[in-house]
Amino acid sequence: MTCYLVTGGAGFIGSNFVLYLLRAHDDVRVVNVDALTYAGNLENLCSVEDDPRYAFLQADIRDAEAMAAIIEAERPDYVVNFAAESHVDRSIEDPGIFESTNVGGTVNLLNVCRAAWEAPDGGYGEHRYLQVSTDEAYGTLSLEEPDAFFAETTPLAPHSPYSASKASADLFVGAYGDTFGMPVLITRCSNNYGPYQFPEKLIPLMIRNAVHHEALPVYGDGLNVRDWLFVEDHCKAIDLVLRKGRLGEVYNVGGHNERANIDIVKTIIRLVSERLGDPEINDGLITFVEDRKGHDRRYGIDASKIGSELGWRPETTFEVGIERTIDWYLAHAEWVESVTSGAYQAYYEQMYGHRGAAADA
């Protein structure tokens, strides 16, 4: 049986990954380790909480003692590190926690894995550590050169405190591979969308605000471009890289789906309005607001390496993925309200006898 230790598995991509693993493989154990910050929600995983192949442990990746005890007890074959502070706007407000969690937490996890996995001969057996990183580590592309893309060889040139922390973590992961021979892999993916994304990010925020007839805040001129990737396609890519990727390598994962923010927002308005039969949900809700500081203009991923080496390609077109996403959010209005209202803290306390970290802060 293969044991995966997934950190940050109660967040958006992490919970989709846990659900994907349990659907895709019979012979697995999936241990989800999450600190349950504001972004972590065990409700995402209520459909599997009684699955004997699944376990949840609340811990902080920065806590060396706790992480060592978990690795010692669970003896995972693979560690996949999703745990992070992930929102660029928050990193502009409060960079420190991004350095602490994204850099310090990653280094701590590497140390703990190394101590548990390294054999006296310096080998690591079949163990593998995968760092989930981001295309934002490469910096920005311009709108004037639409044929330029980020490749794995593109130099890291982050702009926001968030992307600087992710790039720093990547450098540590690479260094542990080079220096200690650790079996590491890095994936850098583009913007994910799909179920369970916290409504602070563009797509779920716009869906939520449209439903409530609230203003849809578009930063700057709305022409910044992102490459949108359906979260389930990303989960498949991570699992493939973990199992079959070449150790020490970086793999880009992209959606082949670049769109300007304003087009995304208009698509959401049209689809939500049609589905609810509500003409008051219209472009009049769009409100152009002050631009994000240091706002990266365009992300565009060259994902040919994972395609040619591992045969991965995104399977979900944007047209299908955005409809599935909107339908999920419309059907899960209670989830949206609970994660945004703070009521979910009470849910944790009642269900699990402890509170999320954000409630204790």
88 binds, among ligand NAD, ligand DAU, none (CB under 5 to 8 A by kind): ligand DAU
20 contributes a contact to ligand NAD by CB under 6 A: no
Distance CA(197)–CA(39), nearest Å, equals 9
Looking up tokens 């928050």, which residue turns up? 90
Known active-site residue 136? yes
Choose between 70 and 303: whose C-beta lies nearer to ligand DAU: 303
CA distance 54 to 231: 20
Closer Cβ to ligand DAU, 22 or 88, answer by number = 88
Among 63, 68, 156, 219, binds ligand DAU (CB under 6 A): 219
Q: Answer yes or no: are the C-beta atoms of 166 and 111 closer than 8 Å.
A: no
11 versus 76: smaller Cβ distance to ligand DAU: 11
Does 228 bind ligand DAU (CB under 6 A)? Our answer is no
In the Cβ-directed half-sphere of 338, how many Cα atoms lie within 13 Å?
Answer: 17
Distance, in Å, from the CA atom of 249 to the CA atom of 246, rounded to the nearest integer, reads 6
Sign of the CA dihedral running 44, 50, 55, 59: positive
Out of 16, 44, 86, 267, name the contact with ligand DAU by CB under 6 A.
Answer: 86
54 bridge partner residues: 30
Alpha helices in the chain (DSSP H): 12-24, 64-74, 88-93, 95-98, 105-117, 161-180, 202-211, 231-244, 261-276, 304-310, 318-331, 333-341, 343-352, 357-360
Residue 141's SS3 state is strand
The three-class DSSP label of residue 79 is: strand
Exactly one of 135, 227, 232, 239 is catalytic; which is it? 135
44 binds ligand NAD (CB under 6 A): no
Q: Does 339 bind ligand NAD (CB under 6 A)?
A: no
299 binds ligand DAU (CB under 6 A): yes
Q: Which does 226 bind (CB under 5 to 8 A by kind): ligand NAD, ligand DAU, none?
A: ligand DAU
Closest CA to 135 of 278, 308, 253, 268: 253
- Contacts with 221 (C-beta within 8 Å, 6 or more apart), sequence order: 262, 288, 291
Q: Is 141 in the site for ligand DAU (CB under 6 A)?
A: no
If contact means CB under 5 to 8 A according to the sort of partner, which of ligand NAD, ligand DAU, none does residue 132 touch?
A: ligand NAD
The reply to whether 183 sits near ligand NAD by the rule CB under 6 A is: no
Catalytic (active site) residue 278 = no
Q: 318, 235 in Cβ contact below 8 A?
A: no
Between CA 89 and CA 100 the distance in angstroms is: 17
Q: How far is the CB of 23 from ligand DAU (least distance, A)?
A: 24
Q: How far is the CB of 51 from ligand NAD (least distance, A)?
A: 19
Distance of CA 137 to the CA centre of its chain: 14
* Residues near ligand NAD (CB under 6 A), total: 29
Q: Does 255 bind ligand NAD (CB under 6 A)?
A: no
Q: 19, 35, 238, 269: which one contacts ligand NAD (CB under 6 A)? A: 35
Q: Does 205 bind ligand DAU (CB under 6 A)?
A: yes
The active-site residue out of 85, 136, 227, 239 is: 136
CA dist., res. 71 & res. 142, Å (int): 43
Per-residue x/- marks for ligand NAD, 99-138, CB under 6 A?
--x---x--------------------------x-x----
Active-site residue identified among 4, 78, 162, 176: 162
What is the footprint of ligand DAU within residues 116-135 (CB under 6 A)? Answer: 134-135
Token code pair at residue 289: 């607001």
Instruction: Verify binding: residue 159, ligand DAU, rule CB under 6 A.
Output: no
The answer to whether 323 is a known catalytic residue is no
Site residues, ligand DAU (CB under 6 A): 86-88, 134-136, 190-191, 201-202, 205, 217-219, 224, 226, 261, 292, 299
Active site residues: 135-136, 162
